């Protein structure tokens, strides 16, 4: 019935907050992204860290999806509607 439900199925993008030139943090899921100089080549690589998990472009990873907990979000509109 509800067509609006499909909108919540979109892949979630990180909300990056810049910490410094080489590090940023997602305000939604807390993932850290570090930009680092490549040890052998004149290029940069990126490492993402979330808890004990990590990804990096050296091994061909792409930016992992945002894993913020939308399910835990409280319906705050209910009280305001009273």
Residue 80 Cβ, how far from Zn ion at the closest point, in Å? 27
Supply 59's token pair. Answer: 């091994």
Which one, of 75, 73, 67, lies nearest residue 48 by Cα? Answer: 67
Residue 32 Cβ, how far from Zn ion at the closest point, in Å? 10
**Which of 24, 33, 48, 66 touches Zn ion (CB under 5 A)?**
66
Give me the long-range contacts of 9-14 (CB less than 8 A, separation at least 24).
11/65, 12/65, 12/66, 12/67, 12/68, 12/70, 13/66, 14/63, 14/66
Does the footprint of Zn ion cover residue 33 (CB under 5 A)? no
> Candidates 24-32, 34-42, 54-62, 70-78 — which segment interacts with Zn ion by CB under 5 A?
24-32
Residue 20 Cβ, how far from Zn ion at the closest point, in Å? 18
Residues that bind Zn ion (CB under 5 A): 14, 26, 28-29, 31, 66
């Amino acid at each position: 019935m509800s067509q609006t439900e499909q909108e919540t199925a979109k892949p979630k993008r990180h909300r990056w907050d810049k910490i410094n030139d080489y590090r940023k943090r997602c305000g939604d899921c807390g993932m850290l992204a570090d930009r680092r100089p490549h040890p052998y080549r004149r290029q940069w690589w990126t490492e993402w860290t979330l808890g004990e998990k990590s990804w990096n472009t050296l091994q061909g990873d792409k930016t992992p999806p945002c894993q913020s907990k939308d399910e835990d979000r409280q319906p705050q509109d209910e009280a305001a509607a009273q």
